């Protein structure tokens, strides 16, 4: 396994270009099961999860190629089983349920199981498909779904689930009749999936709001599409600049989609300026602690919680973070404490008291965004930080150490 070494305390300077959004590319790739004819995707990030998804697409009967951040996919004879040994490595594989039920009337997908940050159930997905006419049984760890022909329905989500909204969008695109999703997820990545499906001939409206209407069509056709840039990767670089008291230019930065994050950074005293498609960020002296509660979009994103916590560790004063989306998303706290942070946990709320500085030490990555928080901590910590198990990081950040060393960070990868 690889580890990352960081010699901290070096100010950064220059430009970083944001890659395509992992959480848009994953559902868009699985939606490639639906259309007849070739699909050409651009700005697909080279990530572990993307390779896993392409493997799943191949198992399900799609021919794919992937080079220079471009994916070409053509659906062949579609199979209906997603195997456990693949699904257990990436729970987003459950997003193949919708396309398979809609196209083939059957899907056998391994129950994804939990992950470090929580149980991650899919009950809301299954309830929605039952309303559309599917029936499910759970047989030796597999969800086995069947339906004659999925029918449009009125779906109301108890919680604006991102994956649930995406699964239903893909299924409803070619279901019989119209579907309305109420309390739909409003995340930009959901919108990107809907825009991709419309480019393939679907009839979806309202994406980005909490009520999405889908008029079922008989079939979809191939198209060319460019995946949106990754707002969480971009937000991570904004925090890296603030941590190291640097000035960075972030290119292809989805600024609008980072509203809640930019608002909190400015509240802490970080200077963020948008100039066309580039965002300039720099820190102005002391930072101050703030209070954050993670919410569904457009609220503060849970995927930026660990990174903002790291920044609050070196702010002047105290702040709190309440994690309301996942039940166990504080795995980075004890690792940050190893670097000298002062953080106390009470249930799903963290109280962070700023310290003078962090000091480098060996730490362990536990999940994707926790790993990112340890990287930005290491950039600011005095001395050497070693981050083990960085396969978590490779799931969601394309060439992170290359992009950071290109702006002056002393960061490199070593075999563990």
Nearest to 376 by CA among 416, 341, 325, 326: 341
> Beta strands 349-353 and 342-346: pairing type?
antiparallel
d(Cα 409, Cα 310) in Å, to the nearest integer? 17
Residue selected from 29, 107, 124, 181 as contacting ligand EPZ according to rule CB under 6 A: 124
Closer Cβ to ligand EPZ, 53 or 246, answer by number = 53
Query: 45 or 289: whose CB is closer to ligand EPZ?
Result: 45
> Which listed residue (15, 36, 63, 123) binds ligand EPZ by CB under 6 A?
123
Q: Which of 290, 368, 379, 404 binds ligand EPZ (CB under 6 A)?
A: 368
Tell me whether the omega of the peptide bond preceding residue 129 falls within 30 degrees of 0, making it cis: no
Contact with ligand EPZ (CB under 6 A) among 164, 188, 235, 289: 164
Is residue 369 near ligand EPZ by the rule CB under 6 A?
Answer: yes
Nearer to ligand EPZ, 12 or 18 (CB): 18
Distance between CA 31 and CA 103 in Å, rounded?
A: 11
Interaction mask 91-110, ligand EPZ, x per CB under 6 A: -x------------------
For residue 176, count CB atoms less than 10 angstroms from its CB and return exposed for 0-12, middle for 13-18, buried for 19 or more: middle
Stretch that binds ligand EPZ, among 29-37, 161-169, 376-384, 403-411 (CB under 6 A): 161-169
Question: Considering only residues 177-206, where is the footprint of ligand EPZ by CB under 6 A?
Answer: 185, 187, 189
Q: Which of 32, 96, 115, 147 is catalytic?
A: 115
Between 290 and 368, name the residue whose CB sits nearer to ligand EPZ: 368
Q: Which of 113, 135, 156, 159 binds ligand EPZ (CB under 6 A)?
A: 159
Q: Which stretch binds ligand EPZ (CB under 6 A): 81-89, 122-130, 241-249, 404-412?
A: 122-130
**Which residues are bridge partners to 411 per DSSP?**
6
Residue with tokens 């699964």: 167
Task: State the pairing for strand pair 13-17/211-215.
Answer: unpaired
| Spatial contact of 210 and 26, defined as CB atoms under 8 Å apart | no
| Alpha helix ranges (H) inside 282-396 | 305-312, 331-338, 368-380, 391-394
Q: Which is nearer to ligand EPZ, 193 or 287 (CB)?
A: 193
To the nearest 10°, report the CA torsion of 268, 278, 406, 283: -20
d(CA 81, CA 77): 13
Considering the complex, state which of residue 283 and residue 329 has its C-beta at the smaller distance from ligand EPZ: 329
Listed residue (36, 12, 10, 20) closest to 200, CA to CA: 36
* Cβ(301)–Cβ(285) below 8 Å: no
Pairing verdict, β 106-110 and 135-139: unpaired
Token reading at 133: 């006419």
Residue range at the interface with ligand EPZ (CB under 6 A); choices 117-125, 261-269, 310-318, 397-405: 117-125
Q: Residue 17 class from Cβ within 10 Å (0-12 exposed, 13-18 middle, 19+ buried)? A: middle
Specify the DSSP class assigned to residue 115.
Answer: B
Q: φ and ψ at 346, to 5 degrees? A: -135, 100
The piece of 33-41, 77-85, 157-165, 380-388 that touches ligand EPZ (CB under 6 A) is 157-165
Q: Nearest-CA neighbor of 155 among 177, 175, 191, 125?
A: 125
- The least distance separating ligand EPZ from the CB of residue 118, rounded to whole angstroms, comes to 5
Contact flags string 312-331 toward ligand EPZ, x per CB under 6 A:
-------------xx-----
| One residue of 37, 76, 113, 121 binding ligand EPZ per CB under 6 A | 121
Catalytic residue at 115?
A: yes
Q: Among residues 13, 51, 120, 278, which is the contact residue for ligand EPZ, using CB under 6 A?
A: 120
Pick 147 or 185: Cβ nearer ligand EPZ:
185
> Of the two residues 144 and 384, which places its CB atom closer to ligand EPZ in the complex?
144
Cα 364 to Cα 61, 278, 386: the distances in Å are 37, 33, 8
- How far apart CA 319 and CA 148 sit, in angstroms, is 53
Shortest distance (Å) from residue 114 CB to ligand EPZ: 9
Site string for ligand EPZ, 224-263 (x = CB under 6 A): ----------------------------------------
Q: Which of 118, 201, 298, 299 binds ligand EPZ (CB under 6 A)?
A: 118
Tell me the residue nearest to ligand EPZ as measured from the CB. Answer: 163
Residues forming the active site: 115
Which residues are near ligand EPZ by CB under 6 A? 23, 26, 92, 118-125, 159, 161-164, 185, 187, 189, 302-303, 325-326, 368-369, 396
């Amino acid at each position: 396994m690889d580890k990352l070494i960081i010699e901290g305390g070096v100010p950064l300077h220059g430009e970083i270009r944001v890659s395509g959004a992992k959480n848009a590319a994953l559902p868009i790739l699985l939606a490639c099961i639906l259309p007849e004819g070739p699909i050409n995707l651009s700005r697909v990030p080279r990530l572990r999860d993307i390779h896993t998804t392409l493997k799943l697409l191949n198992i399900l009967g799609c021919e794919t190629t992937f080079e220079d951040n471009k994916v070409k996919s053509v659906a062949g004879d579609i199979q209906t089983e997603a195997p456990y040994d693949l699904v257990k490595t990436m729970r987003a594989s459950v997003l193949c349920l919708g396309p398979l039920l809609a196209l083939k009337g059957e899907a056998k997908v391994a129950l994804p199981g939990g992950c470090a940050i929580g149980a991650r159930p899919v009950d809301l997905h299954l309830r929605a498909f039952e309303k559309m006419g599917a029936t499910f049984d759970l047989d030796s760890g597999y969800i086995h779904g069947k339906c004659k022909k999925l029918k449009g329905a009125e779906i109301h989500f108890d919680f604006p689930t991102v994956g649930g909204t995406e699964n239903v969008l893909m299924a409803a695109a070619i279901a019989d009749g119209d579907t309305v999703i109420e309390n739909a997820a409003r995340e930009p990545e959901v919108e990107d999936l809907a825009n991709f499906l419309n480019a393939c001939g679907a009839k979806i409206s309202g994406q980005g709001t909490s009520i999405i209407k889908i008029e079922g069509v008989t079939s979809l056709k191939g198209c060319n599409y460019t995946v949106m840039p990754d707002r969480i990767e971009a937000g991570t670089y904004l925090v890296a600049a603030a941590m190291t008291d640097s000035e960075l230019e972030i290119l292809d930065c989805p600024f609008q989609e980072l509203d809640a994050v930019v608002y909190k950074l400015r509240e802490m005293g970080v200077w963020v300026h948008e100039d066309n498609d580039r965002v300039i960020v720099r820190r102005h002296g002391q930072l101050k602690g703030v209070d954050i509660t993670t919410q569904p979009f457009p609220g503060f994103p849970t995927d930026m919680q660990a990174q903002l916590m790291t920044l609050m560790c070196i702010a002047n004063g105290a702040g709190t973070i309440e994690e309301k989306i996942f039940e166990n998303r504080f795995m980075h706290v004890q690792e940050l404490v190893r670097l000298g942070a002062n953080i106390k946990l009470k249930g799903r709320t963290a109280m962070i008291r700023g310290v003078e500085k962090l000091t480098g030490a060996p730490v362990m990555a536990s999940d994707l965004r926790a790993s990112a928080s340890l990287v930005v901590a290491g950039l600011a910590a005095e001395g050497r930080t070693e981050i083990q198990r960085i396969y978590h990081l490779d799931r969601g950040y394309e060439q992170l150490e290359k992009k950071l060393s290109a702006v002056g960070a002393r960061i490199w990868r070593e075999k563990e």
